[in-house]
């Protein structure tokens, strides 16, 4: 797109670091082109969350942002308000810019979490088979919090796993064969394995997996992660995060463009 971003009616974008793995810019800009929407989507790769306000000041036509790692939790103190899901979970992946209709001046930055329902809508009967009543969620960041909420709302018990031990979190070294057998769904909600670091994966005991397990990686680039490959080697079913990405992207655009009366 040759048009200057500041010449567009609307700018949307993504904040995070790094952003080499992201498909959002191509997805949204293709959508805008296909639907003749006077808008542009920009990746804002910022090394510190404090730089968000510099981005806001530089682009007076910025109307919405997606938020990815490592800022889904860190961004909250910079926002004016949160929707119910973002407040409950303690993580934000969508920011809506609420502007005065007459002057265009920024009135409020409001945070939302579309990851909860984006992930939740991928939990079809093929994913949550009758035997999968509990899940292991790898990670404890913003994505893991959204996944946990979506699972618990559907009656699935959750065991969190991380590299750091807490009262409610196992470390990988504690996982036994019996524990893995009890959890039919294993979700990688860590960034380990996303492009360009696609030679990494969580230090999970993959040898305990069976064909009864589904290993779900929220990462979508690469399409098949090392986590998925290692799980499949032991017979487990695997799923990547592209469906979740698309569903939460649709929700993001709906949040950015809804009427103020729908807030």
* Dihedral angle sign, alpha carbons of residues 40, 258, 152, 213: negative
Q: Pick left, alpha or beta for residue 169 (phi over 0 → left; psi -120 to 50 → alpha; otherwise beta).
A: beta
Task: Tokens for 220, please give them.
Answer: 């979508």
Is 194 among the residues known to form the active site? Answer: no
Q: Where are the alpha helices (DSSP H) in the chain?
A: 24-34, 52-58, 84-89, 115-120, 142-153, 177-182, 226-232, 242-257
What is the β-pairing status of strands 62-67 and 94-99? antiparallel
Alpha-carbon distances, residue 79 vs 14, 42, 83, 133, 209 (angstroms): 16, 20, 11, 36, 42
The CA dihedral of 103, 78, 121, 211, to the nearest 10 degrees, is 150
**Which listed residue (3, 31, 72, 194) is catalytic?**
72
Cβ neighbours of residue 197 closer than 8 Å, sequence gap 6 or more: none
Active site members: 72
């Amino acid at each position: 797109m040759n048009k200057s971003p500041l010449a567009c009616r609307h700018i949307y974008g993504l904040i995070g670091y790094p952003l080499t793995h992201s498909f959002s810019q191509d997805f949204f800009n293709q959508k805008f082109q296909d639907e003749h929407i006077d808008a542009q989507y920009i990746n804002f790769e910022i090394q510190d969350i404090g730089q968000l306000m510099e981005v806001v000041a530089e682009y007076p036509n910025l109307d919405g942002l997606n938020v990815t790692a490592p800022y889904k939790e860190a961004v909250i103190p910079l926002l004016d308000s949160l929707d119910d899901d973002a407040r409950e979970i303690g993580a934000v992946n969508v920011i809506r810019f609420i502007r005065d209709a007459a002057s265009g001046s920024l009135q409020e930055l409001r945070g939302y979490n579309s990851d909860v329902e984006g992930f939740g809508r991928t939990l079809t009967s093929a994913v949550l088979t009758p035997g999968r009543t509990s899940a292991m969620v790898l990670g404890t960041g913003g994505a893991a919090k959204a996944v946990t909420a979506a699972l618990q709302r559907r009656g699935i018990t959750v065991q969190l796993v991380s590299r750091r031990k807490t009262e409610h979190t196992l470390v990988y070294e504690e996982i036994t064969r019996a524990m893995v057998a009890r959890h039919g769904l294993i979700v990688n909600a860590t960034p380990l394995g996303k492009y360009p670091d696609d030679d990494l994966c969580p230090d999970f005991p993959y040898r305990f997996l069976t064909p009864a397990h589904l290993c779900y990686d929220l990462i979508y680039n690469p399409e098949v992660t090392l986590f998925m490959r290692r799980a499949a080697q032991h017979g487990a079913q695997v799923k990547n995060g592209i469906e979740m990405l698309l569903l939460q992207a649709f929700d993001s655009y709906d949040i950015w463009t809804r009427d103020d009366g729908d807030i």
